[in-house]
Structure 1
């Protein structure tokens, strides 16, 4: 069973059982009810049971230890990247306490998604007030920022029929990637849609025109579709298929999935978690100016909504071979870790495959792996964390891809060599990187 579904089932049943006494939903508006898990006996009960199941369940959304302080709203104060314990993760190897880190990257051998080289936008809704619609978005309907018991950060909950889009993101480059975490709440045959609309047609984005558009839909009951449209708005490609990642089984209330979208000129690739769902060579009109949107079809059923957070927009198709072999240096923000940790996230698998292939095809090359962090937290902790992350990358290449460890050395620079402005989310994302230098 999908790890998100296991955790989602437990959270849903526990929270709804306690709702009779506390009035608390799984998705909680902090204007009316704090979401911290230390305020009530009901929350303590959820915590205790979560502690029992989380020892055996790995998740991209990991339960965090309670911080010493909380915000006035009652939400857990966001901890800096380096203020958490920097556990040494090596992507599927055994840890010193007998536990294991994330599954081996080898298990994601079919995952070929590689994030764009340069991050151009980050959206985690941290700048928006709980209960408000996000200031940098537009919509035909309504939504609000919420926090979710057991999960980090702010989320946009979008309800009812309608569409929405980030106004801060201009027309997509011909080579770009889009990643985000998507949840669906409550059983329904409602669809969540990803829309790519061509601004060259001169229509308002929210007007609903589909000329030269591309549309992907995920149904919460296990179906998905992709449609492409011609210059007159008639469907060219109309393909439906079953999918299990976004499916909500009977008896469960919600699930979460990581969505990765790769646009390369006319080509569209869509991934749910680490599985490729579509790879369509001619989805986009090459001269189109496409904007990214989302939408929902709820069939006007109440309490149906999708949840959105952790968006990452990046541009460029990394040329690993050329940069490492010819230029002697390859830098990537596509190797990502759990917050404050050296545990590698599975969505990094595509980048690892690219690097490993280059090293396998050039067996005499030796490299140095250097970790970098943003400036959040203590300097010395960031330095130590960057070194541990470089070690984790080396171990993953060795254990999961068979690269001889003697060919690799490691180092970490912490926050000392920033590429971007640490006062912005985009700058921080650019600074959290791994460098590979040919020796």
Structure 2
């Protein structure tokens, strides 16, 4: 009888461990609060039963199992999550001069060595964000469970928080063909950049149906024209495909009827887009220069088509479009940032005496520079190397979210982090660099809109 109890207990423990190992992304929804409370109560009862089972096991087989230290158990319950990204997070606020994106828990776990390696992996990354942010979307103004107020769709999607991840995300679910259109993005000039963070979940090599997410820029009389199509009209469409774990990307030109033309490219990315990366945050960046379009996924330039846009096109809309076959298929986007204008580091720093950039970004509430800032820093370092007599002061700025004193300290730390990066990564003499921080005290724009806050989170280089 005792051996049967031992077998049953170990079987139950094995099932629990197996279930936990298969868990991937956990979405936090308000309607699940009551259900979650019931689950917690049930889990506490299971824990009590397991503890009793361990007591019995100790009686039967001596020192094979040891009782858990009860004081340690109480300490764990009181302390909660220790930064491993497993505890349920509340709806994040855009505090402390937040820069877009990033899993802060994951970043902390990686350590300084991994951060340096990640930054080095961007050594061939040449993406430089536009000079002025004209649209910024992190869904902070939208309620969890709602479709975002400033968007249009013919399908369904909802704003969610994800356990272990910062901020809010727009989640696309099972759909045959649905468009998600940010109504606030209208005119796309000859030179612009678009960036966003992407997470996919439940990519599966065993399932052969579609798992597509498209990003389209197009010309149309109405931004919701051909709303059931990948594009609304003449333009270009970038697609990410994870169906059957295939892992590929495409870039195609579309005609005025939103049909594909013969100008298109395809690329196998099975080593990046695959089930092993379910839950990973990818950073997607797109850079238009007149007819040319470059596409980047993390540190990899996946496309560079010099004539993807017709010379006479007037881009005035963009959309996401998804085709997801299964009920549990999920795509998430957040931290969308549209910027216009081509930064001219050399001219502005040397001739005008000041260069300001929002292209150096940091982890949330941190002075850790994100790897996708590499090209901007490289450009600044190049300007300083070409002008060895020039000295500059690096000044950090934040938005107004969070505590004033905290923002001031954070802005100073970020300026120091930029200085250290220029010295260690690019060999700039540290005697040429001074630092300062102004926190939220010198805004470049009102802190009343996402775009205003994004433009206030900046780094300034002033010639001395």
TM-score range (shorter-chain normalised) is: 0.7 to 0.9
- Counterpart CA distance in 1 for 2:413 and 2:253 is 45
Alignment match, 1:103: 116
Q: Normalized against structure 2, the TM-score is what?
A: 0.76
- Counterpart CA distance in 2 for 1:424 and 1:203 is 25
Does residue 78 of the first structure (1) align with residue 66 of the second (2)? no
Q: Normalized against structure 1, the TM-score is what?
A: 0.80
Alignment match, 2:321: 295
Q: Secondary structure at the match of 1:102?
A: helix
- Counterpart CA distance in 2 for 1:393 and 1:163 is 39
Q: 1:99 to 1:227 in 2, by over 3 A?
A: closer
Alpha-carbon distance, 1:210 to partner: 5.9
Alignment match, 2:236: 214
- Counterpart CA distance in 2 for 1:255 and 1:178 is 20
Deviations 1:153-200 (A, max 9, x none): 111111212111101111212111111111112125411111122125
Larger Rg: 1 or 2? 2
Q: Secondary structure at the match of 2:251?
A: strand
Deviations 1:282-332 (A, max 9, x none): 11123323211111122x332222111111111111011111111111000
Q: Secondary structure at the match of 1:318?
A: coil
Does residue 185 of the first structure (1) align with residue 210 of the second (2)? no
Counterparts of residues 168-183 of structure 1 (less than 5 Å): 168-183=184-199
Counterparts of residues 308-327 of structure 1 (less than 5 Å): 308-327=333-352
Report how many residues are paired.
Answer: 393
Q: 1:81 to 1:100 in 2, by over 3 A?
A: farther
* Alignment check: 8 A CA contact 1:36 1:75 kept: no
Does residue 199 of the first structure (1) align with residue 220 of the second (2)? yes
- Counterpart CA distance in 1 for 2:17 and 2:147 is 25
Q: Secondary structure at the match of 1:255?
A: coil
Q: 1:282 to 1:378 in 2, by over 3 A?
A: same
Q: Secondary structure at the match of 1:347?
A: helix
* Alignment check: 8 A CA contact 1:270 1:279 kept: yes
Q: 1:356 to 1:29 in 2, by over 3 A?
A: same
Alpha-carbon distance, 1:238 to partner: 2.3
Alignment match, 1:57: none
* Alignment check: 8 A CA contact 2:136 2:337 kept: yes
- Counterpart CA distance in 2 for 1:331 and 1:35 is 49
Structure with a larger share of its residues in helix: 2
Q: 1:241 aligns with which of 246, 267, 270?
A: 267
Alignment match, 2:430: 405
Counterparts of residues 328-339 of structure 1 (less than 5 Å): 328-339=353-364
Alignment match, 1:6: none
Q: 1:51 to 1:382 in 2, by over 3 A?
A: closer
Alignment match, 1:387: 412
- Counterpart CA distance in 1 for 2:419 and 2:134 is 28
* Alignment check: 8 A CA contact 1:186 1:253 kept: yes
- Counterpart CA distance in 2 for 1:133 and 1:31 is 15
- Counterpart CA distance in 2 for 1:183 and 1:47 is 31
Q: Secondary structure at the match of 1:206?
A: coil
Q: Secondary structure at the match of 2:169?
A: strand
Q: Secondary structure at the match of 1:171?
A: coil
* Alignment check: 8 A CA contact 1:145 1:156 kept: yes
Does residue 359 of the first structure (1) align with residue 380 of the second (2)? no
Does residue 424 of the first structure (1) align with residue 455 of the second (2)? no
Deviates more, 1:198-207 or 1:25-34: 198-207
Does residue 372 of the first structure (1) align with residue 397 of the second (2)? yes
* Alignment check: 8 A CA contact 2:220 2:233 kept: no
Alpha-carbon distance, 1:24 to partner: 11
Deviations 1:19-53 (A, max 9, x none): 99xx996123222238999x94879999999858x
Unaligned ranges ≥5, structure 1? 1-12, 55-62, 67-73, 84-91, 93-97
Alignment match, 2:12: none
Unaligned ranges ≥5, structure 2? 1-14, 45-72, 99-106, 205-209
- Counterpart CA distance in 2 for 1:106 and 1:138 is 39
